Chains A and B, each alone.
Chain A
Amino acid sequence: MPRLAQDFLKGIEKGLCDARLFDKQVSKIEWFAAPRRLAVYVSNLPLLQPEQEIERFGPNIKAAYDAEGNASKALQGFARSCGVELEKLSTKIVGKDEKIYYQATQSGGNTIDLLADIVTAAIKTIQIAKPMRWGDNASEFIRPVHWVLMLFGNDIVPTTVLGKETGRSTYGHRFHAPEAIHLQHPGEYKDSLAKSYVMVDFADRKKHIEAGVVKAAEAVNGQAIYPAALLDEVTAIVEHPEVLTANFAPAFLQVPQEALISAMQSHQKSFPVFDVQGKLLPHFIFVANINSKNPKRVIAGNEKVMHARLSDAAFFYETDLKHKLCDHLPELKSVIFQKQLGTLYERSLRLSKLSGLIAKQLNADIAQAERAGLLAKCDLLSNMVNEFPKLQGIMGGYYAKHDGETESVCAAMAQHYLPTYAGDALPSNDVATCVALADKLDVLVGIFSIGQKPTGDKDPFGLRRAAIGVVRILLEKQLDINVADLINNEVAVYGDIVKPETGKQVFAYILERLKHYYFDKNVAAKLFSAVSEVTPVSLVNFDKRLQAVAEFSKLPQAENLAQANKRVKNILTKQNALDVQGEINTTLLTEVAEIALAELIKKKQAHIKPLVAEKNYQAVLENLDELEQPVDQFFTDVMVMTEDAAVKHNRLLLLNQLRQLFLTVADVSQLD
């Protein structure tokens, strides 16, 4: 609702600015929104548009008259476009040219005559996801329009808006003050409505509700949980908020509290109350739109409805408990995951297999991972998840526990969708981690293989979220595993329905997400490019190299070495790759600088070998720093592309060896 009103405000502000009626120093503009009204109030508008100086340039004087001194077509056209006779035009020098010139003062229109068009245009700028039509009216809006109030000072702005004639009347609270309120002046709007039981300012109303909810929770020694979205939603459905507290039977607390919370929040727009340990208390807070003489009856009414809702939840839970999760497996055969990718049953089999394969790599319990993968989607067929789709996974965790599955399997049920949003938690144990990775890779490989085109205009499979999940789990849990292999495993699990090139696409897509991950962490692009040139297949390894390059780039020698690497790279890319392979012939080394460089490279090759093996990339690059001087000397003293083919070849071999030293970590030429 605030967005609609803000769009409306922006539209009116723009219209007024364009008509030169709005001056921020003089006028104030504010919006109001309540269930039955959207309003914009502007103070201190001028009665008249200011006068406007009009200045226009016409054709060059040379083109304005012919040889006989008669007005040319161009000049006549210009005069016509200005709507004046020729004699009203003068000339003015512009730069080197003299041009025909028209100047006039246009008097401004009456503000009141301009407002109707401004408001009509502003209404069109309000973005409405699902507009409604009503009656045989051609206009459409978020809801049918019953009245339109439009005043400029003491006068009605006469027009028709969304099929309604404008007037000076509004209406108060539907029950407390249903009769029309006639306003003399727009300034009375907020106060008149307040007297008629409408708190028309959205922010005021929201603050009032929030304070009421906090107080009500304290009164029962609890804490209310009120997600911002729910608070906004409640604020948008009441005009006269009255915060009340009610109770439900403690017996319902047997039902998993997530289910009770969902019932309270999504069905009843109520706020649950918790004790200090985060345990649900048998109270709920709701906001009535009426100031009742007998609040007890309002509370009793709400308790009755809540009882019915919670009974439903309890019934779903008890019914679900009559089956084991694994009993749902056969039913999954009749639920399509995606037309070309088969049923949820087939997906469950894939998840099981892949979870097991990942478990093997992570040294997690393979049997438990396979079991968790197999059962992960079973709760989708439970009554509870059917009613509250958001509880997918969470209910699986409860049901698995009831079935006597191991703690790891239960955690995997509950956590394999994680992370679902930016900053969300990651799976807590290694079995859950395996299933979470498998779940995401199954979606990525499957959807990429069918040409990445989800049906309709949505992306119901959330490829982006899946890829971010893979990146975050691997990096933040420091899982040093080969992602390319992981993807290829999944490609193999899919079998024939997946094209072989899909694996590469998925890997590239995950790297693209990794790029954004680093962008968000303010890591410079050149660091990412340097590492991605050597395509590490483990993201943890990627990160290790990236940190090493970041440290290296701070060293004083880095700039020269980066430049040298770039120079070497440029020389080598012009050669045939095979030409630069092979052993260096030491007898062909003649210059002092190249002998020194060759010796140092040989020494370095031996030095870094163990460091590369233990993946201590920072030490590798620090070790290679010593090359700066010798490389510099080499390029100063030695001519690589010399006439003697054998010597030239030998020098190219040397440069390639130099380059390979750095490529054990990254392509530092990217730093240049």
Chain B
Amino acid sequence: MDLSTKKLFILDRDGVINFDSPDFIKSEDEWLPIPGSLEAISLLNDAGKIVAVATNQSGIARGLFSEDTLDAMHRKMVIMAHEVGGHIDLMVHCPHGPNDNCACRKPKPGLVSGLCQHFSIEPEDAVLVGDSLRDLQAATSAGIDSVLVKTGKGEQTLADNDITQPVFANLLAVASATVPKH
């Protein structure tokens, strides 16, 4: 897979852009970016890539936080990304719980396919960056390539599964591999 030819980068949020917590990220105060991740988004923007975020947020279905709170977190993310010159073209989330049988919750392909369609991007021109098996599975079901990052649950995912996808240290490493240095 040649990352530099990809046009659409679909990023998982928790564990890829920000530090993850087993107890969910429930508030904007708990939302802390992984160093370099926002810069990575900016690098991808500068290379003309479309950057989208697709994230499972079952905490909404579980009543741990509201759509409004999620939006406050995303505003924080947008502002912090702006500060390093980055922007996210679209953020989509699945608000459902594991037993709601929705079509969007990863490993289902709904969110990922929806983004490809929305941006009129052929599956071969998109790539997903995730830290968990279900991210990679969602990508595979949607027919797009994916890469694993070791941040978040990445190390664990790598240890527990037979990962055939390329593995990177973090999102910044993915961006650096995509955008050759001058």
Contacts and interface: CB of A to CB of B under 8 A. Distances in A.
Given A459-B72, A524-B120, A127 B64 contact: yes
Contacts of A526: 119-120
Contact of A459 (B61, B68, B114, B118): B68
Contacts of A509: 75
Interface in B119-140: 119-120
Interface string A559-587: 00000000000000000000000000000
B75 A458 contact: no
Interface stretch (A32-40, A296-304, A462-470): A462-470
A459 B69 contact: yes
A457 B69 contact: yes
Interface string A445-483: 000000011101111001111000000000000000000
Contact of A457 (B23, B28, B117, B119): B28
A6 interface: yes
Contacts of A2: 99
A637 to B, nearest CB: 30
A465 B71 CA distance: 10
Given A459-B66, A459-B71, A465-B68, A6 B98 contact: yes
A458 B62 CA distance: 16
Contacts of A453: 28
B24 A127 contact: yes
B71 A525 contact: no
Contacts of A185: none
A463 B68 contact: yes
B118 A525 contact: yes
Interface centre among B24, B63, B68, B90 (most CB of A within 10 A): B68
Nearest to A524: B120
A524 B62 CA distance: 31
Given A6-B98, A525-B120, A462 B28 contact: no
B162 interface: no
A10 B105 CA distance: 16
B90 A454 contact: no
Contacts of B28: 453, 457
A454 B29 CA distance: 11
A605 B118 CA distance: 33
A635 interface: no
Contacts of B65: 457-458
Chain A interface category by residue count: 20 to 34
A6 B98 CA distance: 9
A3 interface: yes
Given A10-B98, A129-B63, A459-B66, A525 B89 contact: yes
A79 B90 CA distance: 52
Interface string B60-96: 0111111111011001000100000000011010000
A515 interface: yes
Contacts of B89: 525
A519 interface: yes
B67 A464 contact: yes
Contacts of B30: 457
A457 B23 CA distance: 15
B27 interface: yes
B27 A452 contact: no
Contact of A458 (B23, B24, B69, B120): B69
B50 to A, nearest CB: 8
B36 interface: no
B90 A515 contact: yes
Contacts of B117: 522, 524
A454 B26 CA distance: 14
Nearest to B71: A464
A458 B67 CA distance: 10
Given A459-B69, A464-B67, A6 B120 contact: no
B110 interface: no
B66 A457 contact: no
Given A452-B75, A458-B65, 11 more contacts: A6-B97, A127-B62, A127-B64, A129-B63, A457-B26, A457-B27, A458-B66, A459-B66, A464-B68, A515-B90, A525-B90
Per CB-CB distance, the 7 closest pairs between chain A and chain B, nearest first, are A457-B27, A464-B71, A459-B68, A459-B72, A462-B68, A525-B119, A6-B99
